[in-house]
Structure 1
């Protein structure tokens, strides 16, 4: 576990407020991304997500949680409404594993099985780290794109990035100490290579084999390749983003003798 995530959670977990409880749960949902192959649709789901979390609830309004999530998302120029994108003909899939430390704020005082409210909307933000690995299908086989350096990079881009998660949601006490929830959260990343696309077309004379073929896929169907060296391949924006749409179920454990006060 990254030290900054562990330290943040330890400090929050030992902060003394009334009505402290622990909560454990899991989530299922969908994931999507916004980047060079999908610049304009911030709610396009293209794969599944799942997660597990441990949460410390403090006073009915504030809580902190550690979450491990896995998400898959994808995009293909061939499905775009833009002729320019279809001509480019790039595609990818990515599987992201993330570990985050997140703080939540409830708009209504929410203490399962004891508080005055059965539900509350909430907002959240935090910090974390995500490992990513873009791949593409080529001749019926999945290919790892990072090691190919398809844009002529001198070195491979990294395999992980710091992420800033933020989002909104709603939670509901379905009975006893069980809770259902739904939220949507975006991850601001510090990489432009979730999709293996960022800048310009490489000099194909300096690439070989699969790297050369996947650096410019525009002519696979037409035989006409448009990827001239140095011309635009990505959208030139410095960061990619991804999001998770989660549906959660959790159980709350009472660990303080003063569980609820009005």
Structure 2
């Protein structure tokens, strides 16, 4: 399924659900904070490696005790540095990056239990979520006190850099607890698969014409910052996977606006 078809499917699902359940649903507002992580060309094996903080908020429409749809905004920072790797080849490669993530997404939540707010009989429930979104990322590197936008420099020979706003697919699990009236707390972990391999500015091969920054006496090769210039043109710079992955681990609190009309079945 293409990204456009996936977005259309989610749009029609949300629209149809709102029409069918317009008289039964409740609205919910939530805020969250936590940490962010990344797995990609500079972290190839650890799916739980955390490297920065995250925060976000959402507005949600609960159609019944099991199903809801939310609009999410999440901000996070991720980074990685080959010089701290346990892999000797990575330390020699010496690549590094720091990226700010701004994600806007539409998510479908599915509660496993008959959740309390709005008529259910369980005060807690695990839940799953998935959806689609847009992530804006800006990979950078700091050299001699100055920070450079890597997506604009074409470190792998791209003439005009690459897109820094792409479709992303979120998915994850969480646990929600209703602790007082319409107030709930929750915790969730969610992975994202963006349709790009450049979250970390590394994907393809070392270019014929590398990118240098800095003054003439102290230039730094951003395409190949290794000590002995190991990156021969045309050789692989990162791994062979086509997508990077990032994740958010969050805890939060939400408030649900419950109408006087309860759910009926």
Report if TM-score (shorter chain) is over 0.5.
yes
Query: How is 1:1-262 mapped onto 2 (pairs within 5 angstroms)?
Result: 9-16=14-21, 19-112=24-117, 114-204=119-209, 207-209=211-213, 213-219=221-227, 224-255=228-259, 257-261=260-264
The whole-number CA distance in structure 2 between the counterparts of 1:107 and 1:246 is: 19
Describe the SS at the equivalent of 2:138: coil
The whole-number CA distance in structure 2 between the counterparts of 1:19 and 1:108 is: 18
What's the CA shift string for 1:79-127, capped at 9, x where partnerless?
A: 1110010000110010111110000110001132742101000001101
What's the CA shift string for 1:176-203, capped at 9, x where partnerless?
A: 1000000101111100100000011112
Deviation at residue 11 of structure 1 after TM alignment = 4.2
* Gap runs ≥5 in structure 1: none
Aligned residues: 255
Task: Answer with 182-191 or 209-218: which moved more.
Answer: 209-218
The whole-number CA distance in structure 1 between the counterparts of 2:166 and 2:112 is: 31
The whole-number CA distance in structure 2 between the counterparts of 1:94 and 1:14 is: 40
Describe the SS at the equivalent of 1:200: coil
Aligned-CA RMSD value = 2.2
Identify the residue that residue 4 of structure 2 maps to in structure 1. Answer: none
The whole-number CA distance in structure 2 between the counterparts of 1:208 and 1:102 is: 42
TM-score by length of 1: 0.90
* Gap runs ≥5 in structure 2: 1-6
CA separation of 1:168 and 1:259: change in aligned 2, threshold 3 A: same
CA contact (8 A) 1:9 1:66 kept: no
Identify the residue that residue 3 of structure 2 maps to in structure 1. Answer: none
